[in-house]
Structure 1
Amino acid sequence: MSIWNDSNPNEAIPTIEPHWTPIASQSPLPPPPPAARTPQAEPTPRGRRRGLGVVGLAVVSAVSALVGAAVGVIATRDDESMVTTGTLVTAEPATGEEVSEATTQIGKIAAAVAPSVVTLTAMTTSQMGEGESVGTGVIINSNGELLTNAHVVEGAKTVQVRLMNETEPVKGTVLASDPQNDLALVKINATGLTAAVFADPKSIRLGDPVVAIGYALNLD
């Protein structure tokens, strides 16, 4: 670069050379200021609690194991003591006299009631067609009236009644039927029959023993 002076146009103006400074020799730029450090929160005691929890769990497990072992030992000792010192309680079997007495009572009841028990066979008609119904009846008076279940004679065209110790049945007629209570009244032409003796309803209590007598499934 040249600078001209108008005062002496014939005098040459010395040239000023620029002074270049190498980049390497230049003073390094100051480092940027450090970024503001965010204060770190102190570690929460949760980690410590976890450690304590593990230790506590181990302690609890150890204590539980000891307690379980102690209980097992105590139970074993108790079992041993029960085996060695326990008393076995068993029900005493009934004596022969008691068994024979009960059997005798049932036998007496059957012998007293059996003459009043009859077998009924009804020929029925329904939507499924004709069929046969067999049941048991009990004589309620000496004139040939007897009680049976209503479902035995329901829809019956004919009813046959066979008395005890008789091989030939007699004809029966349905006089009345009560399906709600499952009872029916049947009449046969016979006299001098042995009627069953019924107990006084006031003398019957819940839980009294009962003996069932009849011809289930037409078995004599």
Structure 2
Amino acid sequence: MELLIAAVLFVYVMFVVMATKWVYDYLTKRGVKPNVAIYFNRKLIHVFAGGLVALLVPLFFTSPTIPAILAAILAIVTYLPHKRGKLMYWFQVEENMYEVNFCIMWGVSVLVAWTLLGSPIYALLPISFMAFGDAATGFIRNIIFRRRTKSWWGNLAMLATCLPLGYYLIGEWGIPIAFIASFIEHFEFNPIDDNVLISGTSLAYVLIVGHLFM
């Protein structure tokens, strides 16, 4: 049954990815720069694929194995266009493979947090910050600047998103990491991007707090 659910989720994720092609066409036809449309699409995929699927994991899966395998498959699916030189141009760029990083860190968060702490809820914090929190920065960036740039306004939007998420998932312990993750998002060092920094830092924090205090 869990394999069937994973297959359905895979189809759903691919549907979201393909649907953003329409968003790209819609935006570029209305004068939005292609690079801006690409990164806007990445944030949509963050929310509607990575984020929503993560919320379903505790409901439908009894171990981290199948969700982690699903993430690995999606990492391969997003890596192969780079390898073959045939990018899915509406959300991929030649300069980086950050969407691959997203899939990898999604899987790592599920596998490590669930395995070491015994509950999928702990995995939701790094994934939610990476998916919903980071998406907030992109949406604000497009509204204010209409170009891809790091902005502290975006980080404030991420903080406003992560604070309630962190508190809901792990209580008061979620508040400090919401501030830390929202600050870290401001930086990236290709090939290490904010997906890696946000989820990696949040995962390490959850492991420490979960082991010592929860």
Q: Sort the TM-score into its range (normalised by shorter chain).
A: under 0.3
Under a length normalisation based on structure 1, what TM-score does the superposition of the two structures give? 0.22
Larger Rg: 1
Under a length normalisation based on structure 2, what TM-score does the superposition of the two structures give? 0.22
The higher-RCO structure (CA 8 Å, 6+ apart) is 2
Which structure's residues are more often strand, by fraction? 1
